[in-house]
A and B are shown apart, each in its own frame.
Chain A
Amino acid sequence: MTVILAAIDNSTACEPVVATALALAPTVGASVEAVQIADEPGVTALATAEHHHIPFRVVAGDPDARIAEQVNDGEVAAVVVGTRGRPTGPRPAGHTALALADRVDKPVVMVPPDARTPEHVERVLVAMDGSPGRAAALRQAIHLAGDAHVELIVVHVDSEDSIPSFSDQVAHETAAYAREFLYRYCGEVPARLETRVGVPAEEILAAARDMEPDLVAIGWPRSREPGHGHVVRQVLGASPVPVLLVALADQ
């Protein structure tokens, strides 16, 4: 049995993180365990775990290193973390969580503090910009979703850099593009393509608001280069639902 690890702390993020893990678990056929990196168990964390009847453990040490160790355990399929304790928290959204995403190869689900927590994961919105590296990584998420029989909506956002050179007859052109896009990136997995043009983060967030998915999946470029990951950071800062980060190949 695989495990969804709910990484919690003694904050208001406890409840949405555990709830998200519980919503995700049946989708991927996993159970849920909670972990806190601390010298002593937090009362809130412990109470939340007990409230949901899930195993809870406390691990002492450096938070970044120890949580990564826990996630890299063979049984863990994914980890759910909060992006920060409260909406008005002092640091940029997901600072610690993104550091975790840099260290682990497994999917990281990040729960913004004011996100709507799903009861079940039945509709996933996958955000893609169409570049081959991102597409390849996200294809794994798509197939995972396909295996779980969730409704899949792929949002592909063209920015100024990727706007097509040509667009002949709109009805035929969009259909041909969508057909090939879904073929390449979704294969046999049933999916719907939503195309957008604009600032990627804004368009992804707008789509997330319009289509009310239970989860947004997006590629996370594990790079220290300046400017990388800014779309993810913006999405994390305002996503109305939890965000699944899929590690992209080092670029």
Chain B
Amino acid sequence: MTTDVTDLRLDALHRRYEGVVLVAIPGGGHADAVAELRRAGVAVATVDWHTGAEGVAEALRLEFGRLWALGIGPSNVAVVVAAGGAVDVTPLLALDQPAVLAVAGDGVPPAGAVALADSTAVAAVLADQLRRRLDADVPVAVAEPGWALRVEAFDAQRQRVHQSLLALADGRVGAGGAPLLAAPGSERWVMAAGLYTGDGPETRLVTAPAAFHLAGEDGPGERLCRLLDLRSGLLYEEAATPAGPVRSVRFLSLARPGTAVLRALSPEPLGPVPSLAPPAEDPVLDDGTDGGVAWARVVAGEGGVAAAAVQRERESAAGHVLDRVVAYATDAATVPSPAAAVGAATEAAGAGFEALLAEHRRTWAARWDEADVAVEGDPHLQEAVRFALFHLMASVPDTGEAAIGARGLSGPAYRGHVFWDADTFVLPFLAATHPAAARAMLEYRVRRLPAAMEAARAAGRAGARFPWESAATGRDVTPLSAVDRAGRLVRIRTGQLEEHIVAEVAWAACCYTDWTGDEDFAAGPGLRLLVETARYWASRIRVNGDGRAHLYGVIGPDEYHEPVDDNAFTNVMARWNLRRAAAAVETGPADAGVADVELARWRALADAIVDGYDPDTGVYEQFAGFGRLQPLIIAEMAPRRPIAADLLYGSDLVRGAQIVKQADALMLHHLVPGEVVPGSLDANLRYYEPRTAHGSSLSPSIFAALFARARDYERSLEALDIAGRIDLDDLTETTAGGLHLATMGGLWQVFAYGYMGLRPDGDRLAMDPRLPPSWSALDVRVRFHGRRLRLVKERSTFTVTADSPVGVSLDGRPYTAGPRGLVLRRSRNTWEVQS
């Protein structure tokens, strides 16, 4: 006889758990139930209670760690103790607080634990979990603290903002987080990475058939709750309907990119539901069915996307269940065959929902294990950081080429155009945590090197000139004019003049090689990028009669002033580019194709180029003549900052004043600290920050990092707070068009560069950690030259752990960190090794 767990009136157990830990006597029964649960996809661990309470507690810690690595957190774990009265479970309650602790046996269970009558009740619990799997129950919408974004109710005004915040992506496709039950006017979109349609400035990412929807257009009503589990990449939704709640979970599989999975559970039948919804913006080329699998295709340039959906509806004890698996086949060169998508969808559906969910969870857990940033002492900041890292990781594929637009795959704004945002802000995070994705981003640039060389030739230059805005072809797609928010028609000259991106493409290549030590890339495509960008600068720089070298007529990161001569940022980045290329050629393969005379010229130009540095003040003049502009200090004048100063004061006034849009000369201290005069950060921060409007979403994170380096923690945290809220609070009023990926990348840089002080230095990783008073610890994970490192800065100690020995340095002194951990303590002005 079996006892239904519902008979036990144990509400806490009456739900689906992703993980179950059974504490029992080995061979003491339940073996068959455990085996069945595992076959059904439940992560089950068993712990031998013979080891006693402390032993059990330690074993449980290990099992929680294993479950965590599978993407299953404590709030999704049930611990069932089938040990009679033999185990004192009190120590178990001090664990990571499992969702439920159920104890069978004699005696009174401790407070917080659920009492089970006997071994039969334990069996009932296990049987109930199995039944929930077999009935296709939907996983419960829970997430660990600091790992979730919850959106309650349906807000018609902000629904598109929420859609962006809750967007899912797997590097190949992205999908908005709109409710499954469509509201009037809501848009369901899926965008395919790197697939563009249209020409010139109108080029935009193509939209594909949508996968996440249910029947009906009446909307979800106000009683709607969506929860994005950042750790597992799952979007849960519960919508109240007249028939009862419709619960669902959906994801874009990080384990098999291009695969969308949905399970929905309803008290009433969900159909008829077309498995593929029309693309948001683009026409369907053709569609059909193949063996019962629906497919549809969309054209994007020469290529396109094919989508195919396997959908299964059934009735179970849990209710009416809809399982949908949609596979997307994408190709920029040719429209994929329907068979490619149908085959992938059929294969994925054949694996089954539970297997797809488990592999997806595992993959996300592995990504977090190599990239997490934990901040102790600021829960709101912690959520903002994880939110940012989640979208960064989701937006970039591991293979092929990765065109990372300003809003990634989270919305249509900026049309998927690729800016310096990708090279300078997004790529460092990936180079330092998931090199394959950074390599894919560089591959995008490498494959567009011919177009960049053609652009340089067309401009009468040598080498390669990468465009300010790039899309499919690598030719410039920057708009030429626009009406601004003040209603003025403005000429847009960034495509023509904002050339610093040429150096940033080279910088990104070096950032990748510095973090990874990828010698093949460094000697191959990376070297080509360095050489051709250096050649561009060499042909672009003009040498005056006084022997000084100049760059005339450019736009720096401060786009309020254009055109300008000798922009310090552009000039120094060009100098860095020339020197780094020369060094790479000298130490690289013999067939680099650069003559000695050319190398010598690069070096001479680098030495001759003006950088605007004034040794008397320690300040880099942002561009020639900046100091003669009207000294309007926006920190004193503006009603608030950040503020779009060009709209506040008008472009003409701003152009004639010392009002800066974002970090410009200061960006040098962030990107190429080795190229600026040592000790010049403070003077430039004091000079430029009051003059900066922070009218670019890129600005707050850079200043947060720089203030951290300057140990001005109050201002650093102030800027960091803004950077963290840009999308979560829709500070730009454009989050509905997608998330600010560069800000998110900048956020990571605040912790890695700003607070940890990380800088690759040859075969060592230099560190200079610090902690603001309001945090108790900062925990950052990175990869360096193939080793995985975990850096933990606490109030008085700094611990570096690596999976294999790796060279690090602090204050210029070398150390070796390994699996046992390098523990250092700051004593006066030096680090002392503790272990």
Contacts and interface: CB of A to CB of B under 8 A. Distances in A.
B157 A132 contact: yes
A158 B644 CA distance: 12
Contacts of B734: 173, 176-177, 180
Contacts of A166: 642, 644, 694-697, 726, 731-732
Nearest to A132: B157
Interface in A161-196: 161, 163-177, 179-180, 183-184, 187-188, 194-196
A197 interface: yes
A196 B484 CA distance: 9
Given A169-B414, A184-B157, A163 B644 contact: yes
B655 to A, nearest CB: 14
B483 A174 contact: yes
A160 interface: yes
Given A165-B695, A177-B733, A177-B734, A195 B413 contact: no
Nearest to B736: A180
Interface string B121-147: 000000000000000000000000000
Interface in B690-737: 694-698, 726, 731-734, 736-737
Nearest to B642: A165
A10 B643 CA distance: 52
Interface residues of A, number: 30
Given A164-B647, A176-B413, A188-B185, A183 B736 contact: yes
Interface string A94-112: 0000000000000000000
A163 B731 CA distance: 11
Contacts of B737: 176, 179-180
B487 A196 contact: yes
Contacts of B229: none
Contacts of B643: 163-165
B736 A167 contact: no
Interface string B480-502: 01111111001010100000000
A163 to B, nearest CB: 5
Given A160-B648, A177-B734, A169 B494 contact: yes
B487 A167 contact: no
B419 A169 contact: yes
Best-surrounded residue of A175, A179, A194 (most CB of chain B within 10 A): A175
Contacts of A170: 482, 484-485, 490, 492
Contacts of B185: 183, 187-188
A207 to B, nearest CB: 8
A195 B488 CA distance: 9
B711 to A, nearest CB: 27
Interface in A127-169: 132, 158, 160-161, 163-169
* Top 10 A-B pairs, shortest CB-CB distance: A171-B482, A176-B737, A176-B413, A167-B644, A197-B486, A171-B479, A176-B734, A180-B736, A165-B642, A172-B414
Interface of B: 157, 160, 184-185, 201, 406, 413-415, 417, 419, 479, 481-487, 490, 492, 494, 639-640, 642-644, 646-648, 694-698, 726, 731-734, 736-738
18 contacts: A160-B648, A161-B639, A163-B644, A164-B485, A166-B642, A166-B697, A167-B695, A168-B696, A172-B413, A173-B732, A174-B482, A174-B483, A176-B413, A176-B734, A180-B160, A180-B734, A183-B160, A195-B486
Given A163-B643, A169-B414, A173-B485, 9 more contacts: A165-B643, A165-B731, A167-B695, A168-B696, A170-B492, A172-B413, A173-B734, A177-B485, A197-B647
